[in-house]
Structure 1
Amino acid sequence: MASMEIPQMDINEEEHNDIKIEEHHVESEICQYQQTADSDITTNNTTSGIMLVHIKTNRENVQVKPREKLYKCNQCSKTFATKRSLVYHQRTHTGEKPYQCNQCDKAFSYKHHLVHHQRVHTGEKPYQCSQCVKAFAQRSALVVHQRIHTGEKPYQCCQCEKAFAEKQNLVNHQRTHTGEKPYQCSQCDKTFAHRVNLVAHQRIHTGEKPYQCSQCVKAFAQRSALVVHQRIHTGEKPYQCCQCEKAFAEKQNLVNHQRTHTGEKPYQYSQCEKAFAHRATLAAHQRINTGEKPCQCEKEFAEKQNLVNEQRTPSGDKKFQCNHCGKAFAMKATLVDHQRLHTGEKPYQCSKCAKTFAQRASLVSHQRIHTGDKPYQCSQCEKAFSGKSNLVSHQRTHTGEKPFQCSQCDKGFAHKSNLFSHQRTHTGEKPFQCSQCDKGFAHKRNLVVHQRSHTQ
């Protein structure tokens, strides 16, 4: 058998940036194929001088030498084996993005990033799952998806051994151990463990409510809040008590309800050791003992969320001022609603009775009179109300809270109307007057009783 040397091929490094090419020492055997009587192979060496040969590689004798890194970054001293790798790396310092999308002008540092991005416009999803019909634009997304079928969870927490299918989920989970909160609000410096929580929080400052109900005009800052709200329209109550089969639209309402069966009272007041089944009841009890007013400005709110928004909005952030009374607001939309108190404008009209309202929320609340809808349910006795403020007032019968206090005798009342009625005992005011004898009364019920004396 004849042997010959095979000349080494010149491989262009610029053509193969991501492939590491090692120098191999290969022993080859050359098999010469000769023309035989019963062979269809013909060897013609007269014109080209080329012989048909078969190269057999002896892999056992392959020796790999590491490539020398000759190209050095002048900004961070990192070295690279190819010039193209160095050029790509330098874009991390220069910010150069030479690959531009011709549909949206977005630019990228690397060509394969542009290719991936363009699938956003074309809708192309070349990577299809072999077990279901789902397809993906990126191979990495397919790999992650396939773990749904395989159950594979390669990323494990070293502290509690909990495992995850995606690396980012592990990173997010580890913050429960470290307490790290890397996402900070630029307006109030509040920090969050997850970016999605920061985005949701920032809507408090912007007033943005991107999730709108398709059946009514109500909008929400969080998608989860919209999902819960839509159950008002659908009547869905997915959370069912296993002891009495009562169902609830919200999980927390089920948790609260189950305490009526278990007798659990997890919220304990440190001053008197009294325990409560609900956090709100504990908070109300604390205010009774401390005399604390939830809002320092002493404004009163019908809905708890309005109080929360007031507390979260620093006075310096209220840029929109009413030119009638000087009151300031954080959002322009709130100012517009407020100004209708001065102008008397009522642009929101009920389609069933033609009654008009200054605020959209007031119209929505009014329409429940016609529909009979009572979406606000008490978690302690299951009584339902058409308005949230009615629920708040009702809950005071359970908590014993009396937030309205007389400034002259310190007597407390659960409802504002009761405070006004009481204050007349100090002022002597009698606003309810009999139309037949001009006698005046401090309370309407006393006038009604008196008027019966004229009819008898």
Structure 2
Amino acid sequence: MQTDNEEKQSNVAHSIFSLDFSQCEEALSESILFNGSLGPHNGVKPYRCNQCDKDFTQSSSLKAHLRIHTGERPYQRSQCDKAFFQNVHLTNHLRIHTGERPYKCIQCDKCFKEISNYKRHMRIHTGGGLIRCGQCDKVFSQNSDLAKHMRTHTGEKPYKCCQCDRAFSQSTGLKSHMRAHSGEKPHQCSQCDKAFSDTSALKRHMSIHTGEKPYVCSQCNRAFSHNNDLIGHMRIHTGERPYKCSQCDKDFSRSGSLKTHMRIHTGERPYQCTSCDKAFSDNSALKKHTKSHTGERPYQCSQCDKAFYVNSELKTHMRIHTGEKPYKCTECDKSFSHSSSLKSHMTAHTGEKLYQCSMCNKDFSENSNLMRHLKTHINMESLSVPKVEVKEELICTNVIETDELLMSEDKCFINE
């Protein structure tokens, strides 16, 4: 009794003389025929998997496929514990570590690690088989890409973490998140010894070495390494704040700012100082605080002798020398050197009072007025200055010392 596989091979053999090979110079013999040379010509797939009924044109493809069922991963990288079913997958993986992107688009200079991604990308330029989203104007080269994109409109997050309650719209997001639990950092920088849990973090880091910042703001000429950073920055100028808190009426221009803000409601302070018992709700505040132990101020102004803990403070300070005022009020013709000043100014139009004294609960529209008011509470004998509670939308930590309030872009930092 013939098996399915034998029957297929028999049918192929009977039809050999009726096929036209005028466009192919391969000399086919019966032995070559059964090794898979015929398949590419007429779509016949004589090699069937006995586990799942998938068919293949070549025996080598069937052999590689069977490893999915057996779990065999013979292709392993010596520098890490990753192993793969096929050699081509190992080759693609190695490019994560080397940064190699051999497939370059001649239309827009984008480069890709894998030829499949390159081919998909080329459809953007050729227009072949593009699928448009019905909710927005984005186009995609594959139905699967459109399906993933649609989750941004529906809010669907089918990939759930088994360690915590986080959920993700894409499997890659879950995979990357799981490394937060495992501590795995497989993406190594080729220039230094730093490693990262995902490729996007490695790409951002690489701009430190290259210095490349191709994305320039049309409003203030600030340049960024990545387009996402520019998109987030542009919201400072447009006033767009798409990330809304579910617990209160606050909204934010960046998802990271919302995440940090949510810790006000949860009380979470995951960033612990190793030198003292202080903890912080965001990593940038911890980094700045750590320098208060070391006294390190590595960012020196080239125009005067001032030095700063963090680079963002130096950038803000430099506007004193340059006179740059990129933050423009939409209600009048005033402009400001940093966003916090614009935010304070906007209260003159809205009447909102953002700053509150913790001693008497009096509200103020500007921080400078609050500082002047605080002098009425100062104990002149001990020269102690009371701590001040500032409304949470301006800072990551509610309480600041009144002797110094350091502002940087959308954040206020505490001088510890």
TM norm structure 2: 0.52
Q: Which residue of 2 aligns with 1:72?
A: 50
Q: Tell me how far apart the structure 2 counterparts of residues 362 and 167 of structure 1 sit (CA, whole Å).
A: 46
Q: Give the fraction of aligned pairs with identical amino acids, expressed as a percent.
A: 36
Shift in alpha-carbon separation, 1:319–1:232, aligned structure 2, 3 A: same
Q: Tell me how far apart the structure 1 counterparts of residues 307 and 275 of structure 2 sit (CA, whole Å).
A: 24
Check whether the contact 1:97–1:109 (CA below 8 A) recurs between aligned residues.
yes
Shift in alpha-carbon separation, 1:422–1:380, aligned structure 2, 3 A: same
Paired residue type of 2:299: Y
Q: Which residue of 1 aligns with 2:324?
A: 373
Q: Tell me how far apart the structure 2 counterparts of residues 417 and 166 of structure 1 sit (CA, whole Å).
A: 56
Check whether the contact 1:349–1:355 (CA below 8 A) recurs between aligned residues.
yes
Q: Which residue of 2 aligns with 1:22?
A: 11
Q: Does 1:153 align with 2:104?
A: no
Deviation at 1:394, TM superposition (A): 1.5
Q: How does 1:214-253 map to 2 (within 5 A)?
A: 227=215, 232-233=220-221
For residue 90 of structure 1, the aligned residue among 57, 63, 66 is 66
Shift in alpha-carbon separation, 1:430–1:418, aligned structure 2, 3 A: farther
Check whether the contact 2:328–2:334 (CA below 8 A) recurs between aligned residues.
yes
Deviation at 1:328, TM superposition (A): 1.3
Q: Which residue of 2 aligns with 1:321?
A: 273
Q: Which residue of 2 aligns with 1:419?
A: 370
Q: Does 1:193 align with 2:182?
A: no
Check whether the contact 1:203–1:209 (CA below 8 A) recurs between aligned residues.
no
Check whether the contact 1:127–1:139 (CA below 8 A) recurs between aligned residues.
no
Q: Tell me how far apart the structure 2 counterparts of residues 153 and 391 of structure 1 sit (CA, whole Å).
A: 47
Deviates more, 1:423-432 or 1:168-177: 423-432
Deviation at 1:227, TM superposition (A): 3.2
Check whether the contact 2:148–2:169 (CA below 8 A) recurs between aligned residues.
yes
Q: Which residue of 1 aligns with 2:351?
A: 400
Deviation at 1:327, TM superposition (A): 1.6
Q: Does 1:384 align with 2:335?
A: yes
Check whether the contact 1:348–1:356 (CA below 8 A) recurs between aligned residues.
yes
Q: How does 1:29-68 map to 2 (within 5 A)?
A: none
Deviation at 1:402, TM superposition (A): 0.8
Deviation at 1:309, TM superposition (A): 2.3
Q: Tell me how far apart the structure 1 counterparts of residues 255 and 55 of structure 2 sit (CA, whole Å).
A: 61
SS at match of 1:97: coil
String of CA shifts for 1:225-270, please: whole Å, max 9, x gaps: x83569644699xxxxxxxxxxxx97657766xxxxxxxxxxxxxx
Q: How does 1:51-450 map to 2 (within 5 A)?
A: 72-73=50-51, 78=53, 87-99=63-75, 107-111=83-87, 113=89, 140-141=116-117, 143-153=119-129, 155=131, 164-176=140-152, 178-183=154-159, 189-194=165-170, 211=204, 227=215, 232-233=220-221, 309-312=260-263, 315=267, 318-321=270-273, 323-324=275-276, 326-329=277-280, 334-341=285-292, 345-406=296-357, 410-422=361-373
Shift in alpha-carbon separation, 1:144–1:423, aligned structure 2, 3 A: closer
Q: Tell me how far apart the structure 1 counterparts of residues 293 and 256 of structure 2 sit (CA, whole Å).
A: 25
Rg larger in structure: 1
Q: Which residue of 1 aligns with 2:404?
A: none
Q: Tell me how far apart the structure 1 counterparts of residues 175 and 15 of structure 2 sit (CA, whole Å).
A: 59
Q: Tell me how far apart the structure 2 counterparts of residues 342 and 178 of structure 1 sit (CA, whole Å).
A: 47
Q: Tell me how far apart the structure 1 counterparts of residues 291 and 109 of structure 2 sit (CA, whole Å).
A: 55
Paired residue type of 1:367: M
Deviation at 1:356, TM superposition (A): 2.7
Aligned residue pairs: how many? 323
